[in-house]
């Protein structure tokens, strides 16, 4: 068996494990009363753009990610961005009182163009979220314990740290204030969202897509190296603190204390095997 095929099988097994856990956990979450309100300065933001023939299969996993976030962070004002209105998403939103869940349809999003979500976040995050902070989650990236309050002050973007490379890479990152982080489970300030949207419109909108525009890479690596004003204005945590916020399987395994959340099914499997979920 080739190395690539083995990795793909391991990835599928990890995703199946996460999916099974989510479906079981969702039944528990639905049976619980809604928690008390969470921090008013934080809005939970989730993009949900599955293939249309898999919408009914995939939305329970997104619902679980949202309910797990509420379980650990309190009932947050929530925005779900979709490519089109659908019955499961609307029914979920209507089940939560006081209009705390808002569904926003964005026709430019497409399941066949994953980069469209990253472009929407870059260009439209300040329009999607009006609070001081946006907590982004995905089907495979959400909190596993309380602790959001530890990260709401001081930083403009917190997410899982990406591999930093050797000494030279670390020196460049420090020089340009470009601490690359993943865009799955993140906490972002409104200041960063406004700056990133302006830079996107001025420099990158309409240009051919490339990895530098990926969600996470753009605000934490590309823009700091492209704009002196941007990198002077934003603050990122050191990799060690970012790892306490979100664990990605490419980084060192966590110790006895679980991170606030995770990104990716492989990371979830490691946390589950270590008894940290």
Q: What is the CATH number of the domain that holds 17?
A: 3.90.550.10
| 97 belongs to a structural domain | yes
| 35 belongs to a structural domain | yes
| 7 belongs to a structural domain | no
Which tokens in the block code for residue 173?
Answer: 């990152």
| 113 belongs to a structural domain | yes
Considering Cα of 18, then 141, then 128, then 182, what sign does the dihedral take? negative
Closest CA to 269 of 19, 2, 1, 6: 19
Closest CA to 160 of 271, 33, 47, 50: 271
* β-bridge pairing 133-137 and 77-82: unpaired
| 1 belongs to a structural domain | no
| 199 belongs to a structural domain | yes
Q: For the chain, what is the domain count? A: 1
Domain that holds residue 79: 13-273
Task: Tell the burial category of 97 from Cβ atoms under 10 Å away from its Cβ (0-12, 13-18, 19+).
Answer: exposed
Query: One digit per residue, pLDDT tens: the chain, 277 residues?
Result: 677 777 778 889 999 999 999 999 999 999 999 999 999 999 999 999 999 899 999 999 999 999 999 999 999 999 999 999 999 999 999 999 999 999 999 999 999 898 999 999 999 999 999 999 999 999 999 999 999 999 998 899 999 998 766 777 778 778 889 889 999 999 999 999 999 999 999 999 989 999 999 999 999 999 999 999 999 999 999 888 999 999 999 888 888 889 999 999 999 999 999 999 9
| 44 belongs to a structural domain | yes
| 3 belongs to a structural domain | no
């Amino acid at each position: 068996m080739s190395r690539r095929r083995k990795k793909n099988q391991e990835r599928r097994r990890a995703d199946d494990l996460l999916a099974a856990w989510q479906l079981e956990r969702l039944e528990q979450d639905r049976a619980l009363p809604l928690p008390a309100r969470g921090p008013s300065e934080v809005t939970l933001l989730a993009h949900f753009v599955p293939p249309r023939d898999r919408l009914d299969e995939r939305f329970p996993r997104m619902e679980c990610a949202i309910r797990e976030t509420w379980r650990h962070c309190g009932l947050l004002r929530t925005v779900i961005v979709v490519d089109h209105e659908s019955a499961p998403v609307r029914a979920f939103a209507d089940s939560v009182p006081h209009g705390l869940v808002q569904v926003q349809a964005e026709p430019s999003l497409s399941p066949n163009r994953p980069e469209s979500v990253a472009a929407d976040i870059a260009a439209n995050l300040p329009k999607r979220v009006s609070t001081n902070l946006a907590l982004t989650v995905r089907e495979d990236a959400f909190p596993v314990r309380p602790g959001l309050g530890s990260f709401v002050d001081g930083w403009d973007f917190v997410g899982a740290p990406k591999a930093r490379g050797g000494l030279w890479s670390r020196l460049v990152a420090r020089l340009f204030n470009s601490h690359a982080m993943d865009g799955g489970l993140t906490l972002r300030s409104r200041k960063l969202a406004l700056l990133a949207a302006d830079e996107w419109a001025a420099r990158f909108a309409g240009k051919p897509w490339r990895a530098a525009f990926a969600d996470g890479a753009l605000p934490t690596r590309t823009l700091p190296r492209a704009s002196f004003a941007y990198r002077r204005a934003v603050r990122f945590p050191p990799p060690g603190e970012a790892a306490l916020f979100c664990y990605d399987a490419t980084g060192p395994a966590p110790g006895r204390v679980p991170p606030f959340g995770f990104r990716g099914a492989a990371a979830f499997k490691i946390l589950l095997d270590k008894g940290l979920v």
